[in-house]
Structure 1
Amino acid sequence: MLSMRLPIALLVTFAAFTSGAALAQKKYDTGATDTEIKIGNLMPYSGPASPYSIVGKTEEAYFKMVNDNGGINGRKINFISYDDAYSPPKAVEQARKLIESDEVLFVFSPLGTPTNSAIQKFLNAKKVPQLFVASGAAKWNDPSNFPWTMGWQLGFQTEAQIYAKWLMKEKPDAKIAIFYQNDDFGKDYLKGIKEGLGAKAASMIIMEESYEVTEPSIDSHIVKIKAANPDVLFIFATIKSGAQAIRKTAELGWKPLQIVNNGASFVGSVMKPAGFENAQGVLSAAYNKEGADPQWKDDPGMKKWSSFVDKYMPGADKTDGSIVHGYGVAQTLVKVLEMCGDNLTRANVMKQAASLKEFTTDTLLPGITINTSPTDFAPIEQMRMMRFKGEHWELFGPVRGAEATPE
């Protein structure tokens, strides 16, 4: 009997071993190996949106820090970032290069609404993740039609709804002018304001004025808006045009209540060029902490951020909110890749990205967390209102979503 049992026992042991080995087997798609995770990125290093390119430089620096500390589950990140000049045709060309020549695992944090719109169908057809898009357009949260595309930052429409709800409470009889970029980016904000104002939109909005991103100066638009005499001016613009709008309003001696979108609220790249004296009282909203704000000097997360900038981006302007953004989204990606373990397939990257629960970065405001699900591809959905005073933003009121939170 003993001689019969031994082979059976060995077979059982062998079966258990091989079964365990199968379970532990590593899974890779193109762009991942035992030693490397190859990640693609598109940034406007040139062109009209080039001030935002510091986001890509921050991500590159963050991944260098990760690699210096041993990588992710023993794998180093190979970050390949190309200039698309904020041009949709160029973005398509560079995206094809990343997928077909560089063979990246996925495209991470490509910046810009028009450029990402141009590559969305291509990447989804190839089943390549377009992960944590650096744009708040609503179209990045459409998992049923675009299961390979996910945003990161708060949506433009949601942000605009937050402003509208606040305004309805504080200035219900306001005469509103909306200055917006003439593309999907600006039109999402325009739509959000109208949704937030609801039935009162028709009576409160007295002017809608758009500009082209390629215009060297938007001064004539501000002069035209002033002539309509609104008492509230919404500025939905990118960095350069946002700074120009705030500065020109002051030069005209005109003092409407100005509300500027989050992406054009950075102290170093918008408020300082506009002139701190011109920016007093301007409103916006935020989900990230402000980099050089003294109120965060003892905050553990911002201490880590500051140390990172000192070591990996020496001389960088800590008042530039794009550095805070780049750090936060890179930290989120590292979390996702850690969750992937040894299953580095494109499908699993998207699965884990859609499984974030109450995750927070070093840079998010207290009370704001990242949550995703297979039916919700909008990681950040809350903000706090803020007012510019002196050389910094002052937060006020509660954390808000699209539905106004009671004071």
Structure 2
Amino acid sequence: MKKIVALLLSLLLVFSLVGCSTNQEGNTEVTDTANNEQEEAEENNIELAQGVKEDSIKIGTVGVQSGPLAFIGTPYFAGMEAYFNKVNDNGGVNGRKIELIKKDDEFNPAKSLQAVESLIYDEEVFAIVGHLGTPGVMAAVDTVKEAGIPSVYFGSGAVQLTQAGENFFPVQPNYVYEGKLMAKYAVEHFKANNLVVIYRNDDVGRDGLKGVEEGLKELGKSDILKSEGKLAYNSGDTDFTVQVQKAKSLNPDLIIIYGLSTGTAGVLKEIEKVGFDVPMLTTYSNADASFLAIAAPGAPNMIKNLHVMGWLDVTEESLKPLNEAMKKYFPDAPVNAYTMAGWVAAETFVAGLKEAGDNLSWEGYIEAMNHLNFTEGLAPEISYSPGVRQGVTKMAISKVAQDESGNFYFELVSEFNEFK
């Protein structure tokens, strides 16, 4: 039985090991293989970027690793490091081991910007990989763009990242695009004729709502979402009586809940309280066991009506490499959607390294990513081309199900589709 969690793992990439020898003084010398690489790069007029040596590539990442939100960053960075450790143990990428430098921003945008500046200008890393958290990512966008350093994968669905520049490589779907695809599923999968959207009144929720509206317009179905069916709540709200009572009075055949974690859980709790039995659809950001742990106690019955968007097809079998790597390198860390997010961030970066070969200038890596068509992982496809930074565009729907032991999980109920 297929279970979608939210993010992914992938097949291992195995590369050859560059040989080394030790001289009489005890210092490590690079053998002819590495010397030949350097000579070949010089002959081809390839200037290696900062952070790249004959036997290593230094990269950096930023995200919350302490404080109340450390439960997100801890498994996230463990998943990232587990993948890099696995690659390094198999010889690295074209003989180069990956060195990861982590910076803790405590989910503070100002600290996130400082950390990115330090990685670029003090640590002189080759790339920023897996920058975690929309506030911090957006605070550092201009700095990363000005520097021209490759930035691969963001723990964010901000639509601005698709237009930030050629050196930005988002992977997970942005919220506007997801909203458009939600509209497509509303019309084609749920056969909805009367739609209500309950959304968080911030960039996340407004982007999602905008996508739903754009999608319905392109499908010629704008009439199924009326102005009174767009119901906002504020971040930090704990009482959703007004929104749910209004939604119930409109008698919809589908509710889209575009909010994160506790807000969505609060809406579900109120829906349970009033016995509002209606299909619901929410963002992929809630497609994780940690969300079910928060939401299910307050809505044990109505949560079974909840569907989530997902962009990775995760099965127990396909999770095996990630589980094995985590058991080996981080046996005490949880394996959840955040772990998978870190894994895919590392995996995507490495896919670009493979494509680039020894052309490891920033321009060379960006050019390689522009020709990337990566289908070996659990995402339906990760690909880029010049000027196109959409990330993953194929998504599917999962529905909350319950096993014989009473545990809730997400079960795949649709094919992967994209908005065309």
Normalised to the residue count of structure 1, the TM-score between the two structures is 0.81
Instruction: Give 1:152 shift.
Output: 0.7
Which of 60, 63, 73 lines up with 1:43 in the alignment?
63
1:102-251 matches, within 5 Å, as 102-142=123-163, 146-169=165-188, 170-180=190-200, 182-183=202-203, 185-198=204-217, 199-200=222-223, 203=226, 206-212=229-235, 215=236, 218-220=237-239, 222-230=240-248, 231=252, 232-251=254-273
Which of 28, 32, 48 lines up with 2:48 in the alignment?
28
Match of 2:281 in 1: 259
**What is the SS of the residue equivalent to 2:285?**
helix
Range with bigger deviation, 122-131 or 47-56: 47-56
On the 8 A contact 1:150/1:377 being kept in 2, the answer is yes
Q: Structure 1 stretches of 5 or more lacking a match?
A: 1-18, 291-295
Instruction: Give 1:151 shift.
Output: 0.4
Instruction: Give 1:207 shift.
Output: 3.0
Match of 2:323 in 1: 306
On the 8 A contact 1:261/1:284 being kept in 2, the answer is yes
Instruction: Give 1:55 shift.
Output: 1.8
Deviations 1:170-199 (A, max 9, x none): 34332403222513x332212111112223
Query: Does 1:387 find its partner at 2:399?
Result: yes
Match of 2:390 in 1: 378
Structure of higher CA gyration radius: 1
Match of 1:13 in 2: none
On the 8 A contact 2:197/2:258 being kept in 1, the answer is no
On the 8 A contact 1:158/1:401 being kept in 2, the answer is no
**What is the SS of the residue equivalent to 2:416?**
strand
Instruction: Give 1:202 shift.
Output: 5.2
Pick closer, same or farther for the CA change 1:247–1:61 going to 2, 3 Å.
farther
On the 8 A contact 2:351/2:374 being kept in 1, the answer is no
**What is the SS of the residue equivalent to 2:305?**
coil
Which of 368, 386, 401 lines up with 2:418 in the alignment?
401
Deviations 1:196-228 (A, max 9, x none): 22232652652331323xx3xx321x2221121
**What is the SS of the residue equivalent to 1:246?**
helix
Taking the aligned partners of 2:78 and 2:260, their CA distance within structure 1 comes to: 18
**What is the SS of the residue equivalent to 2:141?**
helix
Which of 79, 93, 96 lines up with 1:58 in the alignment?
79
Q: Structure 2 stretches of 5 or more lacking a match?
A: 1-38, 403-407
**What is the SS of the residue equivalent to 2:313?**
coil
**What is the SS of the residue equivalent to 1:280?**
helix
Match of 2:345 in 1: 329
Which of 255, 278, 281 lines up with 2:305 in the alignment?
281
Taking the aligned partners of 1:168 and 1:226, their CA distance within structure 2 comes to: 22
**What is the SS of the residue equivalent to 1:80?**
strand
Normalised to the residue count of structure 2, the TM-score between the two structures is 0.79
Which of 365, 371, 387 lines up with 1:349 in the alignment?
365
On the 8 A contact 1:207/1:228 being kept in 2, the answer is no
On the 8 A contact 2:78/2:333 being kept in 1, the answer is no
Range with bigger deviation, 109-118 or 236-245: 236-245
Taking the aligned partners of 2:417 and 2:59, their CA distance within structure 1 comes to: 33
AA at the equivalent of 1:387: K
On the 8 A contact 1:265/1:284 being kept in 2, the answer is yes
Aligned-pair RMSD on alpha carbons? 2.6
Highest relative contact order (Cα 8 Å, sep 6+), 1 or 2? 2
Instruction: Give 1:280 shift.
Output: 1.3
**What is the SS of the residue equivalent to 2:323?**
helix
Taking the aligned partners of 2:57 and 2:274, their CA distance within structure 1 comes to: 53
Deviations 1:115-165 (A, max 9, x none): 2121111111111122222222222222xx622222011222121111112
Match of 1:69 in 2: 90
Taking the aligned partners of 2:386 and 2:121, their CA distance within structure 1 comes to: 28
AA at the equivalent of 1:167: A
Taking the aligned partners of 2:184 and 2:173, their CA distance within structure 1 comes to: 16
Identity %: 23
Match of 1:9 in 2: none
On the 8 A contact 1:180/1:190 being kept in 2, the answer is no
Range with bigger deviation, 97-106 or 237-246: 237-246
Match of 1:98 in 2: 119
Pick closer, same or farther for the CA change 1:281–1:83 going to 2, 3 Å.
same
Taking the aligned partners of 2:54 and 2:106, their CA distance within structure 1 comes to: 34
Pick closer, same or farther for the CA change 1:379–1:360 going to 2, 3 Å.
farther
Taking the aligned partners of 1:250 and 1:45, their CA distance within structure 2 comes to: 35
On the 8 A contact 1:155/1:381 being kept in 2, the answer is no
Pick closer, same or farther for the CA change 1:82–1:25 going to 2, 3 Å.
same
Match of 1:12 in 2: none
On the 8 A contact 1:120/1:149 being kept in 2, the answer is no
Taking the aligned partners of 2:214 and 2:170, their CA distance within structure 1 comes to: 21
Instruction: Give 1:257 shift.
Output: 2.6
**What is the SS of the residue equivalent to 1:343?**
coil
AA at the equivalent of 2:411: E
AA at the equivalent of 1:262: Y
Which of 360, 373, 376 lines up with 2:376 in the alignment?
360
